[in-house]
Every structure is written in C-alpha cells, then in structure tokens.
Amino acid sequence: MGMPFACPISGWMFNRFQGLLYPPWVRSVLEMAGWHLPEGGKVLDVGGGTGTMGRLIAGPRKLSVWVADPAPGMLRHGRGIHPVLARAPGLPFRRGIFDAVCAGEALHHFRSPGEALEEMVHLLAPKGFLILYDFDPTTLLGGMLQRAEKLFGEPGNFFAPQRLRERLSRMGMHARIFQKGFRYVLLASPARHPVLEEVSP
C-alpha cells in the first residue's frame, strides 16, 4: 500500500470525491448488477476503501457489504459496511461464500493482482459473480494514469480489459465488458449467469 491510503483522512477524501470517481453510467451498471443478487446476499469489496463500490452495488437493497482493505484510514470512514483489515492475496474468508466480489479502482494498486484475482474468484458462491471497475492502460488517459502512479511509487498494475477477460476465461469464467473512454466495468461469472445478459449501461 502506498502513501496516499496510509493517510488518516484518505477515506474522508474518497467519500467527498466519489462522485467524480464513479460516473453515472458506472453507477447504473453496478446497481443493475446488484438487483441480480439474492435477498440478504453478501458482497465483498476488495481494496474497497470506504466501501463506495459495494454500497453502489447494494443500492437500496438489504445486502451485507464486507470491505477488505489494508488501510485503516480508508476503512474508518466506511458507513454501513463490515470492515476487514486485510490485503489480497491473503484474505481471511472461506471459499465460496460471497454472492458478489468486486474491486473498484483497486486491482491496479495490488502488488500481486493475478493471485488476488484468483483468490477473488475462489471466494465466489457457485452462482456468484465478479465485478471489476478500473482504467484501461491502452487508452491515452489510462496510460497517463499508469505512468503517473508508477512515478508516485504505486505498482500501476493496470490490466487491459481484454487481457483480464482472457485470464478469467482460463479460470472458467465468462465475462462481459462495458467501456466508455478509459474506464471499464467487467462482469464475470463461472456459469452463464443472467447478470451477463441483462445489465446494460
């Protein structure tokens, strides 16, 4: 974890600027996906910070949102979540227990994103799905962000969405990608889940 998230007010900043980080089309994809979760379902937001993405997926529904993050300064500012101080890989959960596992603007901050991804897939229940929101490094803005993050000592491990789809397919997951400019949302499920057909931006 780099300096920005170690700062005690980092979570306050993220809550304040979450509107900029999650544009309306991303929010709508996340909320639509959330309607495919069972009543009382469990969502795990990995690198979730204050839990913005998990809460957007839950929307108005009564789902339980777990947020795993190694930064106390982020978790402290989460509301209505179950905070867990942990990093991926190495999350303290049993396999197969979450109806959805997500990561928003987070995977590229992980030192071992490939292993973290495998772990996230293993945590999914049989009818669960994965939701990843991140920036495409093959676009102009995404590439600039990657270079800027590396300059500031962050790992900058960005995945192009197609690469992520190929990796997930080797793990037996079907994926669908929504992309506008440098931002993308990837939905993936081990089975042909209706969420893959019915969600649109």
Query: Measured over all CA atoms, what is the biggest interatomic distance in the chain, rounded to whole angstroms?
Result: 44
Q: Please pick, from the candidates 29, 57, 63, 71, the single residue that binds ligand SAM as defined by CB under 6 A.
A: 71
46 in contact with ligand SAM (CB under 6 A): yes
Say which amino acid occupies 199.
Answer: V
Nearer to ligand SAM, 52 or 189 (CB): 52
1 in contact with ligand SAM (CB under 6 A): yes
Nearer to ligand SAM, 97 or 174 (CB): 97
Q: Strand pairing of 42-46 and 98-104?
A: parallel
Instruction: Tell me if 168 sits within 8 A of 175, measured CB to CB.
Output: yes
**Least CB distance from residue 14 to ligand SAM, whole Å?**
5
Instruction: Please state whether 96 falls in left (phi above 0), alpha (psi between -120 and 50) or beta.
Output: left
105 in contact with ligand SAM (CB under 6 A): yes
**Least CB distance from residue 194 to ligand SAM, whole Å?**
26
Q: Please pick, from the candidates 77, 87, 183, 193, the single residue that binds ligand SAM as defined by CB under 6 A.
A: 87
* Cα distance between residue 17 and residue 189, in whole Å: 30
